[in-house]
Structures are given as structure tokens and as C-alpha cells.
Amino acid sequence: MSALLDKAIAAIRELPEAEQDVIAREMLERVEADAKWEKLFADPRSKNALKRLAAEAEAEIERGDVFDFDPADGRQP
């Protein structure tokens, strides 16, 4: 276990049990989601799908069909 994770676990142990359970569920969900993505990306079919999606996104950008979602720039969709 890394020193940082060990420190985090020690801090979590100081919390009430209900809060510990919330954090534990979040951690497990994260680990499970990461494993799912790893499995999906390991599938050779995902490489073709990602290439197709990237080509579609590039075409949309070239056509000007996209806009910046950053509200800080002041532009509206």
C-alpha cells in the first residue's frame, strides 16, 4: 500500500462508520469502473471504434458543428 493511501485510510478510520461506508462504496465503484474500462480498451474492436469516433469528431470540428462549452468565455451555444 502506498504511503498516501495508508494516510487516507487512517483518516477515514477516524470518521463515523456511515461516512466510512460512503467512501468505501465510492472507492469500490471507482476500482470496478477502472477495471471495466481496462477490459473494454483491451478488446481489439475498441481500437476501430475509437478511430471511427475520432474521425467523426474531427469532421464535426472541420464543419464547425461544435462550440466551446466553457461559460467563462462568454459565448452561448
- In this structure, are residues 75 and 67 in contact, taking their beta carbons and an 8 Å threshold? yes
Query: Structure pTM?
Result: 0.57
Query: What is the average pLDDT score of the chain?
Result: 89
- Per-residue pLDDT, 64: 86
pLDDT tens profile 31-47: 999 999 999 888 888 88
Alpha-carbon distance of 74 to 76, in angstroms, equals 7
- In this structure, are residues 23 and 15 in contact, taking their beta carbons and an 8 Å threshold? yes
Domain ranges of the chain: 3-62
